[in-house]
Every structure is written in structure tokens, then in C-alpha cells.
Amino acid sequence: MVTDPQQACFEAGIKFGSLYHQFAGTPVSPDSTRSLETAIADSIENQPHCAAVTVDIDDEAVAADIAHENGYTELSGHLMEVEMRIEYEAVTVRTRMEMEDGYPLMKLVAVEAGGGETETADHDANEETADHGASENTVDHDANGADDADDTDSAVADTEP
């Protein structure tokens, strides 16, 4: 039988797969990054159990990727960082997508059971992730569209889509 934490992690994987493969290749320019961040977050939050999505598209990286006179490039993993919070039953899963060795990895950051217990994906509590506080380029909504400034630093395990 599948446990609630396992199902919550599965739900997180579904959201990341749809986010990345739905939006990779989308035309983006420095003028459209904010609206695209909002569209991505709002779209993924429509899915069941998705409590919050944060999308941060790097304006400078977008501008640097533009290689023609039309003023845009295609969205890809190296241009953005994404964080998600999935809530399934009494379990909260926190995930992050960021570049590692030139590849956009989806990472399971933490699994939090209803009793306040936190399991980190890498059981070495000394390995901390970088601080990913909200920036002016970050769009973070909860499932009802309200801003959510929740930020968790936990140990990280790598998972690929």
C-alpha cells in the first residue's frame, strides 16, 4: 500500500513534470518574465494538492540568451528556479528545481508529516541548501492566489524528472 508521504512525493513529481515540459520552449523576453512567472505558477497551482508555486526567471540570463533581432529566447531550465509546496492529507512536501552541473534538477527538499516531523530527503542534516529567499523577481502564490513568503532550508536529495 502507498503511504501518504509517498503519494505526496508522487504528486510533486507530477507537478514538476507538467511544469517543465509544458513551459520549456515558451518565448520569453526581459519584458515578459514577470507575466510568464505568474502564468506558470497559476497554471500549476490548478492541479490537485498544489499549495504554492514560486517561479523565478532570471532577467539577465534571458537577455543574454537572445541571439537574434526579434528580442526573445526560449524558456529553459537554466533561466529559472522553481519551488513548490505540495499538501496531501497531513503531509507537506517541499521541492525545488535548480541548475546543477548544467542540468535542471528537480529536488525533494523536505517531507513534513502532520505531527510536525520533518524528514529531509538527504538524511545528512549538516548539508544545507543555499538561502533562496524571495526576490523582486519571484512570484509565489498559495492555492488561492495569495502571496506566500514561506521559505525552508533543508537537506536536499537529487531527483531527475
DSSP state of 39: H
Query: Can you give the CATH number for the domain in which 114 is found?
Result: 3.30.1300.20
Give the domain extent around 83. 4-159
What's the mean pLDDT in 155-160? 45
Contact 99, 58 (CB under 8 A): no
User: Within a 13 Å sphere around the CA of 139, how many CA atoms are in the beta-carbon half?
Assistant: 19
The pLDDT, as a whole number, for residue 76 is 96
**H-assigned helices in the chain:** 4-23, 33-45, 59-65
The pLDDT, as a whole number, for residue 114 is 80
User: Within a 13 Å sphere around the CA of 31, how many CA atoms are in the beta-carbon half?
Assistant: 3
Bridge partners, 83 (sequence order): 54, 96
Give 18-77 pLDDT, tens digit per residue.
Answer: 999 999 999 999 999 999 999 999 999 999 999 999 999 999 999 999 999 999 999 999
**Is pLDDT above 80 for 152?**
no
| pTM as predicted | 0.72
Cα distance between residue 52 and residue 140, in whole Å: 7
Number of domains making up the chain: 1
